Each structure stands twice: as C-alpha cells, then as structure tokens.
Amino acid sequence: MLERYKRKRDFTKTEEPKPGSKVSDKDNLIFVIQEHHARNLHYDLRLEIAGVLKSWAVPKEPPTEAGIKRLAIGTEDHPMSYADFEGSIPEGEYGAGEVRIWDKGKFAPEKITDKEILFRMDGNKMKGEFVLIKTRFGKGNGWLFFKKKD
Ligand code: MN
C-alpha cells in the first residue's frame, strides 16, 4: 500500500520517514493533521486504517465546528511513522515546504466503506464525530469532510 509513497520520494534528499511497521492496537488508533506549507498551504488529514495512514489533502482549515464543509482530496497512503513527522521538505522534492503537526489524537472509526467513513477524533482542535463522504468533485478523489454535530 505504500508503493506510491515510496515512488514519489527520494529518501537520500528528504528527511521524511521511510515506510516503517509501527502499528497501534485497535483500541488506540490515531489521526494526525499536518499543516503543509507547500506551493499552496493545505492540511493533510491522516487516519490510521489497516496499518497505514490513509491520507487526504484539505485545501482550507479543517472543520472544527458543525456546518462547515471542506473538500478533501484523497492522496497516497503514508507510513505510520509519518504521524510524528515535522520538518522541511527540500526545494525540488515532492511536496517541498514546511510540515507542522496541526492536531493529533485518538481516531475511532464507526463505519468505513469505499464511499463513506464515519469516525470520532479526539484531538486538541478536532473533537467529536466526523464524516468523510465521496463527492463527484475532485477527479474521482474528492471527498467532503465535515463535523456531524457540535
Ligand atoms: Mn501535503
């Protein structure tokens, strides 16, 4: 599942982690949201699913309250070790720019299908029940991301 991740990166140039095998037990799954100052500032939402970090790029600040809908574009799976990554991806490399952890915490999935993910996040900024649902926007990788209720 991490082939795309490896293919896009030159690990002699970037400090991003190489794929590792650290996996949480099923009652202690995690999420992380990284603020990524690439060509366009965006937020990378990553959820621990099946031993990897399933990932989406969110072009605007994530929805901390109900009533805000964000587009989230599905991107390549990332290794679990990426959840701790903060640093600078060098100029000329994929995703060049600063990466900072914006929020991190416990992830509890309620339902996962190809079209819909219902889950809880317990972080500092993201707390409560959230939804990711496939949308026709975004060239086949588009999802809507929102908080279910306050
Ligand atoms: Mn990114």
Tens-place pLDDT, residues 30-45: 999 999 999 999 999 9
Distance CA 72, CA 144 (A): 6
Report CA(26)–ligand 1 centroid distance (Å): 26
Report CA(112)–ligand 1 centroid distance (Å): 23
Q: What is the pLDDT of residue 21?
A: 61
Q: What is the pLDDT of residues 85-131, one digit of tens each?
A: 999 999 999 999 999 999 999 999 999 999 999 999 999 999 999 99
Report CA(13)–ligand 1 centroid distance (Å): 17
Report CA(42)–ligand 1 centroid distance (Å): 6
Q: Which of 137, 11, 7, 144 is nearest to 85 (CA)?
A: 11
The domain limits of the chain are 3-15+25-147
Report CA(113)–ligand 1 centroid distance (Å): 24
In this structure, what token pair is assigned to residue 129? Answer: 């029940």
Task: Report DSSP state, residue 66.
Answer: B
For the cut 90, the answer to whether the pLDDT of residue 137 exceeds it is no
Residue 35: count of CB within 10 angstroms of its CB: 17
User: How does the average pLDDT of the chain come out, rounded?
Assistant: 93
Report CA(33)–ligand 1 centroid distance (Å): 10
